[in-house]
Chain A
């Protein structure tokens, strides 16, 4: 029989110790984590960004990633959206008893692979095991800290009329890839989640220009919700062009079938940037050279108008409002 996680793995006793040693520390090894003290202790100097997020995606494994990769990329991206260089992450598991040990190890391996790619270290962690039915297989929480470079000042309230709106790539891949695997809904698609760490892309953008005003990763609620948030925070209107927003055929097809609008589908490896018009070209150029920004494109601009309004020029040349997502579109996609 395959090894499974038991309640005793979370008890703090021998089994728990073995699990941490063999399944976590060995894979995630680094000098700060290896000490296994109650806290990771390190020195930093400068302006810090600090964030946390929990991951409950179902199913745990999906085309293009899994909950482990997502837990690293999500938190790394939240740091990157403040312009920070991500440094250290914490990693906490809440495991439902009965989870296959092999699945857990696969997920820890992808945590390590994603952390390696993102250039961050997992420096502290925790494991709890709960009785069957108290959680759905595995929930992960990560928190992270990052350092904000000198001269960088990125925030949601800094968009100004005249600024350009840049999107780093095609939208909707993650949400549709996860949905395609859902029980009761599974459909065949070659689509993969866009789940990726964006710290490198942001660093390349900042190298091109320090004048980036806003960054946001359009996760739950999709591009529409991110643009609405930025327009509200900055008290401006945003105008976008439907024809300029990249969406793959597979996403369009799935959206038609399911009655969704790609503007509201989640992404996990895309960003929206609002930048001064005069810096837009060099930022786009830098993005196109970066692994996760090759399809970067200007999709619109910030305009004076009612605060929080996002308007889209449709392919027919008409205009319509792009509102916030109301209610649930897809349960548990991240």
Chain B
């Protein structure tokens, strides 16, 4: 088992596609929550092979995209403090905040470094003991445990100049907020794969029970998505709503207990700002009081200035699934991968980027 080519096999895909076409009768709108799923769907042209009665809409599952400008501005303000080094995953560099981006202020001389893991950030703190190193904690439940681990390591190793700006976000609360808004009507949810690796499939039960919406956790290869859609169709046609896993090689119902324990130890739920959705209660993570000395927000005075949103950009509506990139007057004209206006065109997992790069809305 090599886990990649097996899940891209053309003949198996054809079998699933014809099963879906045969089985699916009722009109159904499925949301893929996760940006990684959006990319797979476009990269392999999955929308083109599904029957007309199935509509796929992209959800808010791109951590970069949902980071609010107010939070980006905080990160930029931090980087501007003399001697502070911001350690971040590369994707964040290009995202425009209200007035600048990390990439721009880096070129102007601010301390911004790209890291591939939290442990790299911790090492940078060790290597530069006289400079505060702040890791930008962006991401969902998938990345939060590794950030928690880095804080525990810093404590254990007596590293005093390591901080985290915790902008983490939690998926189940935002899905509830999305469904409560009543803006988008769904017949099925493609639940995030990597997030579920950590939290398991149990946290999605409320969607099936309270909202009557079928849920299937999916992996990221084309066969994973097709199998997931097939399972959703089966539930829709049978009038069921339950939580199933189409990603057994990565996800257990109870999740990863050790990772959850780490998260619980270091973080507690807090309100978070989501682009397009505003503040959602208990949908973020902040450092517990015990770890306050690692909390960048508690230890630096930040004056990010007033928040400005890019004029005309509808990223917020796109993230809620109520509009599509092609509905945006800027898409493909002013807003392009090389000159992005909003974050959904910047992030490799952003809907606008996926739509544009793989040709949807370009007569592709």
Contacts and interface: CB of A to CB of B under 8 A. Distances in A.
A35 interface: no
B45 A311 contact: no
Interface stretch (B9-17, B57-65, B276-284, B312-320): B9-17
Contact of A316 (B46, B116, B364): B46
Which size class do A's interface residues fall under?
Answer: 20 to 34
A315 B8 contact: yes
A314 B45 contact: yes
B120 interface: yes
A315 B222 contact: yes
Interface in A136-195: 184-185
User: Which of B8, B348, B356 has the most CB atoms of chain A within a 10 A radius of its CB?
Assistant: B8
B180 interface: no
B5 interface: yes
A137 B17 CA distance: 54
A253 to B, nearest CB: 6
Interface stretch (A20-28, A36-44, A320-328): A320-328
Nearest to B39: A259
Nearest to B10: A315
B116 A318 contact: no
Given A314-B45, A315-B9, A327-B94, A249 B4 contact: yes
B206 interface: no
B338 interface: yes
Contacts of A256: 4
User: Which of B4, B115, B356 has the most CB atoms of chain A within a 10 A radius of its CB?
Assistant: B4
A184 B87 CA distance: 13
A128 B4 CA distance: 47
B357 interface: yes
A311 B4 CA distance: 23
Interface string B349-364: 0000000111100101
Contact of A320 (B9, B17, B116, B364): B364
Given A256-B4, A323-B357, A327-B338, A315 B348 contact: no
Contacts of A321: 357-359, 362, 364
B44 interface: yes
A317 B359 CA distance: 15
A317 B43 CA distance: 12
A249 B2 contact: yes
A14 interface: no
Interface in B75-121: 94, 115-117, 120
A4 interface: no
B294 interface: no
A259 B116 CA distance: 12
A253 B2 contact: yes
User: Which of A261, A315, A323 has the most CB atoms of chain B within a 10 A radius of its CB?
Assistant: A315
B61 to A, nearest CB: 15
B44 A252 contact: no
A331 B2 CA distance: 28
Contacts of A259: 348
Contacts of B115: 184
B299 interface: no
A319 interface: yes
Contacts of B46: 316, 318
A326 B337 contact: yes
A316 B115 CA distance: 35
A316 B337 contact: no
B354 to A, nearest CB: 10
Interface in B19-44: 42-44
A243 interface: yes
B258 interface: no
A318 B362 contact: no
B184 interface: no
Interface string A280-317: 00000000000000000000000000000001001111
Interface string B109-137: 00000011100100000000000000000
Contact of A319 (B8, B48, B120): B48
B362 A319 contact: no
B166 to A, nearest CB: 22
A318 B44 contact: yes
Contact of B44 (A249, A314, A323, A327): A314
Contacts of B348: 259
A253 B7 CA distance: 12
A198 B17 CA distance: 43
B322 interface: no
A124 to B, nearest CB: 37
Contacts of A314: 43-45, 222
A316 B225 CA distance: 12
A316 B40 CA distance: 12
Contact of A252 (B5, B338, B364): B5
A318 B4 contact: no
User: Which of B10, B43, B45, B48 has the most CB atoms of chain A within a 10 A radius of its CB?
Assistant: B45
Nearest to B2: A249
A315 B44 contact: yes
Contact of B4 (A252, A317, A326, A327): A252
A327 B222 CA distance: 26
User: Which of A252, A256, A311, A320 has the most CB atoms of chain B within a 10 A radius of its CB?
Assistant: A320
A185 B13 contact: no
B49 interface: yes
B364 A319 contact: yes
User: Which of A185, A259, A316 has the most CB atoms of chain B within a 10 A radius of its CB?
Assistant: A316
Given A259-B348, A319-B364, A320-B43, 12 more contacts: A184-B116, A185-B116, A261-B43, A314-B44, A314-B222, A315-B13, A316-B17, A316-B222, A318-B45, A321-B362, A323-B337, A323-B356
30 contacts: A184-B115, A184-B116, A184-B120, A249-B2, A249-B5, A252-B4, A253-B2, A253-B4, A261-B43, A311-B364, A314-B43, A315-B8, A315-B9, A315-B10, A316-B14, A316-B44, A316-B46, A317-B10, A318-B46, A318-B47, A319-B359, A319-B364, A320-B42, A320-B45, A320-B359, A321-B358, A323-B356, A323-B357, A323-B359, A327-B94
Task: Give the 8 A-B residue pairs with the shortest CB-CB distance, closest first.
Answer: A318-B45, A321-B359, A318-B48, A326-B337, A320-B358, A321-B364, A314-B44, A315-B10
